[in-house]
Amino acid sequence: MASRNVLSSADSASPPFQYVPVGEVERLQRYQSGVVITSRYQVVHKLGYGTYSTTWLCQDHRSAKYVAIKVGTAESSSREVDVLDYLSNHSPLNHPGRAMIPSVQDRFVLHGPNGNHPCYVTAIARCIISGAKDGSYRRIFQAQTARSLIAQLVLAID
């Protein structure tokens, strides 16, 4: 049986977790638990993936906080992070929707064997609405939850 990498944490500053990569199914390649990116961010767990990026839970060694790092494929553009930067820098500080837009804490490019990968760092407190819906018992939101989501969306795009 192959050895397994197990990562766990139970310090008072963070919730306990244990991550065990799935052998031949989940190949983490360059970004596996414990790897440090740009001498600052230590990879903890894969949060998700899409066609043009993979998002990782990392610990920022400077702030000792958890962050999310989105690593784009070599074919991806920086349009998403450019839009987030624009919205963060051109919204009034007191605008109620400002908190609904994730602010970019850092951005950099990783140079790898498959090309240059645009990356950006945000806070981890974000949720994909479709994922939350899929996780609910009947795949629909209760009325109060739906109203709250709609209000947050309206604030964000106002």
Q: What dihedral do alpha carbons 16, 22, 28, 34 form, nearest 10°?
A: 30
In CATH, which superfamily holds the domain spanning 7-126? Phosphorylase Kinase; domain 1 (3.30.200.20)
Question: Could you give the CA distance from residue 83 to residue 24 in angstroms, rounded to a whole number?
Answer: 36
Residues 6 or more apart from 55 whose CB is under 8 A from it?
A: 46, 47, 48, 49, 68, 69, 70, 71
Q: Would you state the pLDDT for residue 131?
A: 66
Question: Is 23's pLDDT higher than 60?
Answer: no
Residues of the chain with CATH 3.30.200.20: 7-126
The 10s digit of each residue's pLDDT in 45-91 is 888 888 888 999 999 999 999 999 999 988 888 888 899 888 888 87
Q: Would you state the pLDDT for residue 151?
A: 83
- 0.75 exceeded by the pTM? no
State yes or no: 65 annotated in a binding site.
Answer: no
Are the CB atoms for 68 and 47 separated by under 8 Å? yes
The 10s digit of each residue's pLDDT in 95-152 is 777 777 888 999 999 988 888 899 999 988 656 666 666 666 676 777 887 888 888 7
Q: Would you state the pLDDT for residue 135?
A: 62
Residues 6 or more apart from 82 whose CB is under 8 A from it?
A: none
Pairing of the two strands 66-72 and 106-112? unpaired
Identify which has the larger pLDDT, 62 or 18: 62
